[in-house]
Structure 1
Amino acid sequence: MTSTHAPAHRPRSTSVPAVIARILVLGVTLAVTVFITPVLIAQQSWMWLAVLLLAAAAIFVLYSTKRYIPGKYLFPGTFFLAVFLIIPIALTVGYSFTNYGDGTRGSKEQAIASIVANSVQQSPDAPRYAMTVATAGSPTEGPFVLYLVDPTDGAVLSGDAETPLAEVPAGDVTVVDGRVTEVAGLTVLDANQVNAVYNELMELAVPVDESSAVQPLGVNQAFVGTTVLQYDEASDTITDTATGEVYTVGTVGTEQAFVDADGKQAFSQGWLQGVGMSNYERLFSNGKIAGQFGAAFVWTLVFAAGSVALTFVVGFALALVLNDERLKGRRIYRSVLIMPYAIPGFISLLVWSNFYNRDFGLINEMLGLDLNWFGDPSLAKVAVLLTNLWMGFPYMFIVSTGALQAIPNELMEASRMDGASRFQTTSKIVLPLLLVAVAPLLVSSFAFNFNNFNAIQLLTEGGPFPDGSTRGATDILISMIYRIAFGGSGADFGFASAVSVCLFILTGVLATIQFRFTNVLEDVN
């Protein structure tokens, strides 16, 4: 006789809270995707739109079923690694081969539209409209849409840089006292927000026809003007209708731009385009720039190595003193010594920047000095190192204290029985054993200080600055890159990206060399 047994049923492992949590996660993912997708489409951010859609699809595939258990744990880390590290690195490398910067951020079509828009001239009898600015994106970045109310008949018109002026259905807007106050699906900017983006709005022109456009006039009015410059798509030229001069597309350096009859660039506005290795060639072939880069690199090494050495020596010395069991009140002393580490770094830097004031700073007043700390390059560097010492020694003190307590007391007792002095015991036994534990932390501290932007920007702002120099005397590489990218002479993101790539390579090479040296300490055990 054969008997059959009913298959055992696997007990249900999914609890009600787990189901609710899964529904909430998927619901939030769907809501965020639906909310952000139109914004990214409006801003034409196709790469981030692809990242958003792929991430949402992955979340639904991984977390809507009981399958793919490893993927559920690997996805969060992989996603944030890609978004915050891999993609920025790839974008930086990509921009380093372009001319991306002020006046060259958009396409050629956008550049032409901007050039033509900037040539709008207002005639005495030009009609004026009550203007409202709205956006589907950020109030500070746009894109911006103008909503105009014709005072003669109350008609509402709208348009942007790429969309010609057209009448708006009455149900899409709310008009109060002859002005648009609400727009369906868009954010209306108030007077303060309009003031904040006033310069960008002055470059905005809404086309009406081939020879006229609407341009803002102040914060709440707009006018219809005539464009002096006309673009001919067939011949790819821009003509000045007032003078008859024709501007053609030519090559200026490694870039294309509209040029005059003498081959000189006619307009400051250009467009984003690839420039090959020209940014890297500029870095190493331009003597002035190469010299500033070399000086910044040397000071960066001195700053990073000096900060690590000073903080470690002071931290180790204090830890060694407070490791003596004969000292009373050690816990109180240790608590006091780590207080600088508990204060946020940006607060410490701002406070210390006042200490160095030449006229009423704490340091000059207490010591009776008259030193121009931030006006002299050497003194400014000393100030940076001293401040970084104050902020960094508590970390080294904590690390050294923990490492000292892990060293067996029997080793020190044995060395003293063999006749070794305290200095010999410390230098020949304690220090080598301690370095085995803290050497990787010293490497990471060096890498941190190699790119310690806050310590420079919040304390000295890179200064003092020699005449005609992009780099200040205390600028390290990362702060020099910041000045290139966002400097007063105009943003140059392409060149800054090239310098960033070189900095990334240098940091990696230096870290590799340091880790190879720390391998020698493995034999100490």
Structure 2
Amino acid sequence: MNAPLTGPGSAPQTPGRGPEGPQPTSRAARSDAPVTVTGLVVKVVLLGLAAAIAVWGAFPLIEAEAWGGLALLVATTAGLGYLYLTRRHIPMKYLVPGTLFLIAFQVLPVLITAATAFTNFSDGHRGTKDEAITAIQTASVVRVADSADYTLSVATKGDPGSDPLVFLITDPTTGTAYAGDSDGLSPLDPADVTVATGGKITAADGYTILNFGQAGARSQEVTDFVVPTEAGAIRAAGLTRAYEGRAVRAYDQACDCVRDAETGKVWTADEASGSFVADDGETLAQGWKVGVGLANFTRVLSDPNVSGPFLSTLIWNFAFAIGSTGGTFLLGMFCALALHHPRMRGTNLYRILLILPYAMPSFAMLLIWRDMFNTDFGLINNLFGLDVNWLGEPWSARLAVIMIQLWLGYPYMFLVATGALQSIPKELGEASAVDGANPWQRFRKITLPLLLISLSPLLISSFAFNFNNFNAIWLTTEGAPFPVDNPTVGATDLLITYTYRLAFGGQGAQFGYAAAISIFIFALVATISAISFRRTRAQEEVWS
């Protein structure tokens, strides 16, 4: 065996170091790295928090008998424990948190939205068929001559101003105290309640009894609140008395229908629509959630009350997105070109002034611009001596929202265009000038193509953002002006604001239909973005 060479000027070699400096350590050496106290504490706290969240989420799953979800929760928690309690799989330690957040906040909402799009989920169709039957029967409760009468105390289990109501009553014949909620009556332990003379409950463990002022502030809720019972339901008669009424409409399982005891009318269950429907076509307001297939999607094209406004909104949506993106890009680019000129002086001051709109809160600026376009006291009309109803006419309102978006969006394009211009080699412009190209030719043949290569991904993302720019419309016009014959779709409505109005509008929430339109918007933007990115890659290959 040859001995290691040593001699004058030679240094002894140590493990991990070579003649040219430090060498990479092995995987085993990295795994044996000492554990710091701070790192250990952070790991213990985070794993303990994950375990606590898992335990907290397990109880509802067990109560709902969702064994598949419980198994997934246990497997995920066990996997996280194994991953972070070992020194292996180092890359996964960094990838797993981001992947879990991606699944929780991106993938799951998309899947839930897609599933909702194929249902009739809406006001009146939120729960199961049994819940719909209960709601129909309790809503039809009326007081009859032999209705039982109770002394009533209105209570909650927490905040008297916002928590769900509970009726505390005593049976006048037995003196038994009960607590009634939307699920029915449950007896109270006599040791936990205080009953005054006359049967009124004045205190109960776990409940906050409302005084007359608090109950009066929620009088409409007290009137509408019902406690289902076997004979019908208990309803309030004022704030101190309650009665057990009889349901006029009752469900008959033999015919799978609801019968009205007073009129004899029958509503038969229609499983396809999730509703009880009479022979004359009348539908009870309360139904249940069912799958409807592609009905929500075909409604956009087949329903004349929807297809016309929908297509016009889609056209305006494209015009707004293209106009906003193109306008902000052109204005921002020209400002960047002007300040990029070598003869320009005071560029730092100008740049600060130009990015001021970008530094302001957009929601506040949108509200200010809305007032500036006001017909009576707005700055625009007063400054230029005009009498234009900017937000009251379709085309002027559309022009106004594009102008507002132009002012809000150009600073961003100015910033990115400034950075892109500084990355273009000056030699290209100088060489083209020597070849006899004028400024316009240099801009069109060199500067603009190179700018588009750098900015095309940003333009695509800006288009997608403006296509769904909810704030720009909702905070300025709320979709107005609306035609007289259709208060659902306004002249400045984008698909996203139209969808919001369908989902949360005053005419009844249509979550399934709104989800279908959301899927349509997602598919449309994804297709346009994919085509645009492909063209961008082709352009990059030409200049590479």
- If the length of structure 1 is used for normalisation, what is the TM-score? 0.86
Give the letter aligned to residue 524 of structure 1. W
Q: How does 1:462-501 map to 2 (within 5 A)?
A: 462-469=479-486, 470-501=488-519
Give the letter aligned to residue 277 of structure 2. V
Give the letter aligned to residue 323 of structure 2. G
Deviation string for 1:152-204 (max 9, x for gaps)? 79854223333x312122566799994457628xx999999989987777654
Instruction: Say whether the 8 Å CA contact 2:195–2:202 is kept in structure 1.
Output: yes
Equivalent in the alignment of 2:291:
274
Aligned length: 508
Q: Cα distance 1:331–1:169, how it changes in 2: closer, same or farther (>3 A)?
A: same
Instruction: Say whether the 8 Å CA contact 1:237–1:247 is kept in structure 2.
Output: yes
Equivalent in the alignment of 1:127:
150
Instruction: Say whether the 8 Å CA contact 1:130–1:150 is kept in structure 2.
Output: no
Equivalent in the alignment of 2:206:
183
- If the length of structure 2 is used for normalisation, what is the TM-score? 0.83
Equivalent in the alignment of 2:393:
376
Give the letter aligned to residue 255 of structure 1. S
Q: How does 1:111-510 map to 2 (within 5 A)?
A: 111-123=132-144, 126-134=149-157, 144=164, 146-150=166-170, 156-162=177-183, 164-169=184-189, 178-180=201-203, 183=206, 204-209=225-230, 211-216=231-236, 222-250=242-270, 254-260=272-278, 262-469=279-486, 470-510=488-528
Q: Cα distance 1:402–1:193, how it changes in 2: closer, same or farther (>3 A)?
A: farther
Structure number with bigger Rg:
2
Q: Secondary structure of the equivalent of 1:224?
A: strand
- 2:123 aligns with one of 79, 95, 102: 102
Instruction: Say whether the 8 Å CA contact 2:473–2:493 is kept in structure 1.
Output: yes
Q: Cα distance 1:222–1:429, how it changes in 2: closer, same or farther (>3 A)?
A: farther
Instruction: Say whether the 8 Å CA contact 1:279–1:494 is kept in structure 2.
Output: yes
Equivalent in the alignment of 2:4:
none
Instruction: Say whether the 8 Å CA contact 2:137–2:232 is kept in structure 1.
Output: no
Deviation string for 1:227-274 (max 9, x for gaps)? 2222233443323233344433246xx4142233x2423411111011
Deviation string for 1:489-511 (max 9, x for gaps)? 11111111111111111111111
Is the deviation greater in 324-333 or in 228-237?
228-237
- Aligned partners of 1:217, 1:133: CA distance in 2, in Å? 18
- Aligned partners of 2:428, 2:336: CA distance in 1, in Å? 18
Q: CA deviation at 1:55?
A: 4.6
- Aligned partners of 2:68, 2:154: CA distance in 1, in Å? 33
Instruction: Say whether the 8 Å CA contact 2:154–2:210 is kept in structure 1.
Output: no
Identity percentage over the alignment? 41
Q: Secondary structure of the equivalent of 2:537?
A: helix
Deviation string for 1:115-157 (max 9, x for gaps)? 0110122357732410213389xx97x8x46241439798542
Give the letter aligned to residue 120 of structure 2. N
Q: Which runs of 5+ in 2 are unaligned?
A: 1-27
Give the letter aligned to residue 108 of structure 1. K
Q: Cα distance 1:45–1:344, how it changes in 2: closer, same or farther (>3 A)?
A: farther
Q: Secondary structure of the equivalent of 1:109?
A: helix
Give the letter aligned to residue 306 of structure 1. G
Give the letter aligned to residue 474 of structure 1. T
Q: Cα distance 1:107–1:173, how it changes in 2: closer, same or farther (>3 A)?
A: farther
- Aligned partners of 2:219, 2:65: CA distance in 1, in Å? 23
Q: Secondary structure of the equivalent of 2:157?
A: strand
- Aligned partners of 1:233, 1:276: CA distance in 2, in Å? 27
- Aligned partners of 2:292, 2:215: CA distance in 1, in Å? 35
Q: Cα distance 1:183–1:387, how it changes in 2: closer, same or farther (>3 A)?
A: same
